[in-house]
Structure 1
Amino acid sequence: MTAPAPRPHAHPFVPYTPPRLPPAEGLRRGQELFEHLDGRRSVRFFSSDPVPREAIELAVRTANTAPSGAHQQPWTFVAVADPDLKHRIRLAAEAEERAFYGREDIPQWHGALSRLETDANKEFLDVVPWIVVAFAQKYRVTDTGKQKHYYVNESVGIACGMFITALHTMGLATLTHTPNPMGFLTKLLERPSSERPYILFPVGYPADDCEVPELTRKPLEEALLWR
């Protein structure tokens, strides 16, 4: 068979030839991954046991493999272990949460959260060994000015999903905490105006007496349609 003619490129390209798995092996791996991730839960009760810095590095390395619009990788992860800074984050987050739970104009939102039994108390932010905050980069400042980023929400969301997957694979737990508004994180973590806080992740091992709400996931027939 004659090899295909090389395609002309204006930029560097390299061959991509991942191994093609037999269908049965691919399905087996897919089933294992599903069963692994189906056991993941968001946690609000954490142990203070230490988590090695290398685990955070690996999780962010994994997030860095995510696809992104125009390969601009518009994310920054800030890892916090300093107890004083974690406490200041807690106080600021709780202030925003008290305002949220005190609002009387969003009863449906409060009702949707009721089965999770959440409130303004975020004690876990003092307990966890790490707080990792994902920031979304709206643009990048270069020597020639501002470089706008595209598909920022989609790109950072995918990266955060892979970050969560990596943590779960290492036996760690987290929570997608999004106090609203989150501008206090920009100030406390000294980030530039080109970035905005996206998700605050407490990271640690579940507490020995950890509990989670009894929930069921959406059935496949609701999540997948065939045409």
Structure 2
Amino acid sequence: MSLIDKLKQRRSYREFEPESFDIQLLIDAIDAAKYAPNGANKQPWTFCIIKDPDIKKEIRIQSERIETEFYKKITDQWMSDLKALKVNTDKSFLDSAPYLIVIFKHIFQYDQNNQQTKVYYPDISVGIATGMLISILTDLGLDILTYTPSPNSFLSSILQRPKNERPYLILVVGKGSKSYKLPKITKKPTEDILKIY
């Protein structure tokens, strides 16, 4: 199957099979994603692979805590949109999936003299690298869920990341559960999203 066909079949699973797989697949995928185009070649990203069950559990506990608060604040329309996708405060996928990849963006960097230096377009750069990583993992036959807890600063504390890094998102990676019923969704027709001039 071609990469295009695989990407057209890609879905977000919220339940994962318990079996693990060789972590080297993730290392190799990240090694390729680092070639993403980025502002001034600053490569403003750090990819943290989480396999430790205790760390995954702590991330889940903190995520569910903030999600409970988050759901108290969102609009009825937003809640309705999420319900159709089976999204709620239960984040058990965070410790049931074999791996998490927590991606951090750099808001500044340090030079060889430990002086702060600027980075350019970090959100765009990290977004492109993340998209490439998702495509690579999909091509490898893995299922991915993007998860963006808000606020997400607890990830910096749990993983003890330096002050120049900010959490960007979490990729939950594994094989989607065979028993998970995917939400029924449709994608917009190509003619609605594509204009040729």
- In 1: Cα distance, 2:183 partner to 2:120 partner: 37
Calculate the aligned-residue CA RMSD, in Å. 1.4
| Paired residues for 1:76-225 under 5 Å | 76-103=46-73, 106-142=75-111, 143=113, 145-225=115-195
Matched-pair contact (CA < 8 Å) for 1:172–1:204: yes
- Alignment equivalent of 2:3, drawn from 23, 28, 33: 33
3-state secondary structure, aligned to 1:69: coil
CA displacement 1:100-122 (0-9 Å, x = unmatched): 1122x522322221210211001
Query: Does 81-90 or 202-211 show the bigger shift?
Result: 202-211
- In 2: Cα distance, 1:117 partner to 1:152 partner: 31
Matched-pair contact (CA < 8 Å) for 1:98–1:120: yes
- In 2: Cα distance, 1:100 partner to 1:54 partner: 35
Give ranges in structure 2 of 5+ residues lacking alignment.
Answer: none
Q: Return the letter of the residue paired with 1:183.
A: S
Give ranges in structure 1 of 5+ residues lacking alignment.
Answer: 1-30
- State the TM-score, normalizing by the size of structure 1: 0.83
Q: Return the letter of the residue paired with 1:75.
A: W
- In 2: Cα distance, 1:144 partner to 1:187 partner: 22
- In 2: Cα distance, 1:205 partner to 1:70 partner: 36
- In 1: Cα distance, 2:109 partner to 2:76 partner: 39
Matched-pair contact (CA < 8 Å) for 1:58–1:166: no
- In 2: Cα distance, 1:215 partner to 1:45 partner: 17
3-state secondary structure, aligned to 1:212: coil
Match in the other structure for 2:29: 59
Matched-pair contact (CA < 8 Å) for 1:45–1:211: no
Match in the other structure for 1:4: none
The 3 A distance-change label for structure 1 pair 188 and 144 is closer
- Alignment equivalent of 1:68, drawn from 31, 34, 38: 38
Query: Does 32-41 or 132-141 show the bigger shift?
Result: 32-41
3-state secondary structure, aligned to 2:16: coil
Matched-pair contact (CA < 8 Å) for 1:172–1:203: yes
The alpha-carbon deviation at position 226 of structure 1 amounts to: 2.1
CA displacement 1:161-195 (0-9 Å, x = unmatched): 11111111111111110010000000000101101
CA displacement 1:98-143 (0-9 Å, x = unmatched): 111122x522322221210211001111111111100001110221
The alpha-carbon deviation at position 144 of structure 1 amounts to: 5.4
Bigger Rg, which one: 1
Q: Return the letter of the residue paired with 1:151.
A: Y
Match in the other structure for 1:8: none
3-state secondary structure, aligned to 1:85: helix
- Alignment equivalent of 1:48, drawn from 18, 24, 28: 18
The 3 A distance-change label for structure 1 pair 184 and 144 is closer
- State the TM-score, normalizing by the size of structure 2: 0.95
